[in-house]
Structure 1
């Protein structure tokens, strides 16, 4: 089932039930937008198809998958797309000194290169519709989440890329919104499969690392549906001049989720404030104590 005449369309990546993408699909659908929900395995989207959404297979790391999805969407919508939401993402929690570069490359493939590939591939449909791109970034882009250097790097790349993309697409009437997302309930962030490798210098504080794996699910975490309501509500607002967007229209930078207001406020004071907060919040003072004790014992030998 395709969109009705005149009905707006939105394509969302990473829509597996339980995550932000799924919640966004449900909220856009409730607002009368025709939703094109995607996932690597579209079978998990069967309940969404049953209520009238279009469901398609899409792996944002595969060029042929993106092309096939583009062709299907173009046929479905008559060659246009009103909103593209780049939500598909991969979590990555490991100390910087323990990173496996092939593993990091996989995270960049999904979180960064997948976003770039989707924007490039669907730009023609968005230009025709004078549409909107929403790139789901994170407070991690500007916050030093201890043990999250790779993930932080991907989200920092997305924000920098989006800022430039905004200027490049402005002459064509396409808007770019960056969602600076705080802690939000999500299945992907609850996965705890990563472990410290043998010989890690952080073995001394393994408990801190293991606690960090689920940090986003236990610190001011916002309900996924609540986050979706705020983002969709903002995305569907009418256009306003640049200086008034943050108050009345669709924002260029959308801040929501746990800690979002606090992190935004801290940006007025410089990076030192967030550094202090995150250092203490993750418990790195405990590591300082352990290292001091080790030095003390060495001197007694």
Structure 2
């Protein structure tokens, strides 16, 4: 209710200014049919459309990987994420092998997310790791046992060819996690601070946690090396804060049945695109 109240206050303050600007720009509209997003008629139309889609099985709730802005505290669409190449680091971390005096080294651009690791993955055809598949690694700093699995989606050219799998905080890891039924361990709260799953790192900001994790790994002689690495960082296009991939329960729309109908009207020339390139 408070949000709706603020929305109407904004409309009363700025709405008429925008309309007058449009008129000065020469926009030819039927101003008697002007509508505002929160008008009762439009709100009813949204609810009606939602119910129709829901009754037809086109809208559903599910847990999926989404883009989360820890500043605006909201889910944002892929189109709202600005990705730019930035200079970062690649940290090489030794994970002890259970019952052996041996390690498997993984490379990561986000050492703080290792607190949520639930597996290590290698490529099934990578000869360097044939003997490791099926063994168990121990997650440094936390002590969790991690299965070493093989998956063809692993890039043998990235880092050491062995990667940590963090299903709750990486889109690719999320998909691998679904394949192998790996546990999804969320380590962040809504503001990207470490939650109780991070144990002694709880309440640290994600970047503070990174520094502390690196320091602790060095103390344990488990940080093998650090390399400069260029990577694409996603930021919220409004506040410019780095987004956090996370699993959240959200409403989703099944697009395939809807796109089939849309494609059909275009192919039947019921709708024409100008310029023609828009038809693609």
Coarse TM-score class (shorter-chain normalised): under 0.3
TM-score by length of 2: 0.25
* Higher RCO (C-alpha 8 Å, min separation 6): 2
More strand by share: 2
Q: Which has the larger radius of gyration?
A: 2
TM-score by length of 1: 0.24
